[in-house]
Structure 1
Amino acid sequence: MNRIGLALMAASAAAMIAADAFAGEPSQGFEPTAQKFYLQFSIFAPGDLQCDATGPGVRTKVTRGITGAPLLRITGNADQAVISCWRPDGSRYTTDLNRSLRYNTSGAIRATVTFRPGADTGSVLVQRDGEQDRIVPQVFPRAFVKVQG
């Protein structure tokens, strides 16, 4: 790495530490994230569906696919994330599939929900990055459920 790159990295780290100190939070270094769980939806998912994930050490980024359905990227402690989805009509959904899967550093776990409007459950297809040729994708029936109440 050249000297300019090292200087930029040092300046970035110093700025991060200063920002953490100013905010009263302990500084955290640049750590690789071993757990990555991506939740996406099939083409039949409604475009107004919203999703989020929370929990200790959980980082979440939500984007939208071409159909308007959310793509939820969970990193950090993905196995501790509480995933919740909702629609404007008040219906709520959840899955805890992320809590029962084994994570490794080779890539993300990609879960695709087969959302069926009007149904109380949906199946989830799970694949791992880079393992499509070795492991057959797994289907978890009724892993995406409508929250009653």
Structure 2
Amino acid sequence: MRKVVNYIGLGLMAAAAAAMIAGDAFAGETSSPLQPTAEKFYLDFDMLAPAALSCDATGPGVRTKATRDIAGKPVLRVTGNAAQAQISCALPDGTRFSTDVNRDPRLYNTMYPTYATVTFQRGADRMTTVLRQNDRIKDVRHGSFLRVAQGSGADGWDSSLTSLGGKTEGGTKDAPVLIGD
């Protein structure tokens, strides 16, 4: 019985590959073989995140799949060149967020994907991200999920504490520019 199930599984995989090649041929594109990657990164949110939040990742060689968990919170799966992906999230009111926790190449291995859970705080400029692999906490990055405000960035957005009205010892004029645009 187990051999029959294995043969059926192999047949389904072959059929899927043939369908992918045929789809590329009809679209006029060259077909490339499926290339497995060790860079698998999942971004999700705790229960306090608004369900209206949506996320995306862009960059060369980046493959993304955006879904929702059972509570309606976004789950972003990033594969391919995940370490170079530009991850951004947005709310319907125009509030944008950005993170670069996926940029550390030490996060990736061939055995397990990296899961990043953002502890969302409504109205906060910076939020904490907890990184896990194989059900173990790998790292906690405080302030790694940043609110991005409209300002002087290359695309018209800026994540500096000055533009967000943040507080520093010397006032907002001395606030550092945050990475994330």
> Aligning the two structures, in what range does the TM-score lie when normalised by the shorter sequence?
0.7 to 0.9
Unaligned runs of 5+ in 2: 151-181
Aligned equivalent of 2:91: 87
Per-residue CA shift, 1:41-60, capped at 9, x if unaligned?
Answer: 11111111111112222221
The answer for the alignment partner of 2:82 in structure 1 is 78
Deviation (angstroms), 1:139 = 0.8
1:14 aligns with 2:18: yes
Matching residue of 1:41: 45
72-81 or 7-16, which deviates more: 7-16
CA RMSD, aligned part only?
A: 2.1
SS in 2 for 1:61: strand
For residue 96 of structure 1, what is the aligned residue in structure 2?
Answer: 100
Structure 1 residue 123 corresponds to structure 2 residue 128:
yes
Q: Deviations over 1:53-73 (max 9, x none)?
A: 122222211222233211111
1:82-109: per-residue Cα shift (whole Å, max 9, x none)?
A: 1110001110001011112421111110
* Greater Cα offset, 9-18 or 37-46: 9-18
1:7 Cα deviation (Å)?
Answer: 5.4
Structure 1: stretches of 5+ with no match in the other structure:
none
Task: Indicate the structure (1 or 2) with the bigger Cα radius of gyration.
Answer: 2
Moved over 6 A (4+): 1-4
Q: Mean Cα displacement is larger for which, 25-34 or 102-111?
A: 25-34
Report how many residues are paired. Answer: 145
1:3-57 deviation per Cα after TM superposition (whole angstroms, max 9, x unaligned): 6665554444333223212222221112223111000111111111111112222
Show the counterpart of 1:68: 72
Q: TM-score, normalised by structure 2?
A: 0.71
Single out whichever of 71-80 and 5-14 deviates more from structure 2: 5-14
Question: Which shifted more, 87-96 or 27-36?
Answer: 27-36
